[in-house]
């Protein structure tokens, strides 16, 4: 293999090097994204168990905000939503509809940010999977062209003269496929997992909004806002 690579033309060697770097980068991203999505699934499962355990929402909010760890996923949606809910609720003259609408908008913004984090770097895998075979094919075509041009300088052409050059050129196509196939498989799998996580986040957003709607009276007064502020402080 090394003999074939070392005997290839300079342009084909450059193409092989680019494909090798693309393959290493995609494999690094594949393992990193696998750990990231695994952590996101585990965090979502743990948060759902705590949220639906029947405990107090304000107490759960205080525990999450008191932690020094990075808040992400559904925990971030809950933290942003409940913080916004308490903030808007304490404003004078805010109606129940305004409170819920502001809370929902804040959670939607947080949901979009979490979706962007989950989808980060996935386009790179799609790019590697789509263009690597064509880059490798370009190297192969260039190598075959050089092999046939060399035949024009001899009076009698034989297969033994053409075969080494063609074999060297075909390595570029093989390397292109080696870089593309794992990237395509990982991209399709991770896109599906990201969509499932986003759907779970969206379902939690709707369920949490429904809970807040049931707990918010149709008419708000200063007494209710003061009670909520005391609950937040306590």
Q: What is the pLDDT of residue 1?
A: 64
Is residue 79 a contact partner of residue 61, using CB atoms and an 8 Å limit? yes
List the chain domain ranges: 2-233
Looking up tokens 């020094």, which residue turns up? 68
Predicted local distance difference test score (pLDDT) of residue 224: 47
Look at residue 28 in the predicted model and tell me its pLDDT.
95
The predicted pLDDT at position 167 comes to 73
What angle separates helix 10-51 from helix 159-215, to the nearest 10 degrees? 20
d(CA 97, CA 86): 14
The whole-number mean pLDDT for each consecutive block of 10 residues of the chain, a chain of 234 residues, reads 67 86 95 94 90 84 81 89 86 76 91 93 94 90 77 64 71 89 95 94 91 72 45 45
Q: What angle do CA 209, 77, 222 make, to 5 degrees?
A: 55
Six-digit token pair at 15?
């193409």
Q: Which ranges of 95-121 would DSSP assign to H, the alpha helix?
A: 96-119
The per-residue pLDDT for 226 is 43
């Amino acid at each position: 293999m090394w003999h074939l690579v070392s005997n290839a033309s300079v342009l084909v060697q450059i193409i092989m090097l680019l494909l090798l770097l693309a393959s290493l980068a995609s494999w690094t991203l594949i393992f990193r994204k696998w750990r990231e999505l695994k952590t996101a699934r585990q965090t979502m499962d743990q948060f759902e168990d705590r949220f639906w355990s029947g405990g107090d929402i304000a107490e759960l909010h205080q525990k999450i905000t008191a932690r020094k760890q990075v808040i992400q996923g559904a925990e971030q949606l809950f933290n942003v939503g409940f913080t916004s809910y308490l903030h808007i609720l304490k404003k004078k003259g805010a109606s129940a509809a305004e409170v819920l609408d502001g809370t929902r908008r804040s959670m939607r913004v947080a949901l979009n940010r979490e979706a962007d984090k989950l989808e980060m770097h996935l386009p790179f895998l799609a790019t590697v999977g789509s263009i690597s075979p064509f880059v490798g094919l370009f190297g192969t075509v260039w190598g075959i062209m050089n092999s046939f041009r060399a035949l024009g300088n001899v009076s009698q052409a034989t297969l033994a003269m053409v075969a080494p050059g063609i074999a060297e050129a075909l390595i570029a196509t093989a390397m292109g496929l080696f870089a593309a196939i794992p990237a395509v498989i990982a991209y399709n799998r991770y896109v599906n997992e990201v969509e499932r996580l986003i759907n779970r986040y969206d379902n939690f957003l709707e369920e949490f909004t429904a809970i807040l709607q049931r707990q918010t009276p149709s008419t708000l007064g200063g007494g209710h806002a003061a009670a909520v502020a005391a609950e937040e402080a306590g």
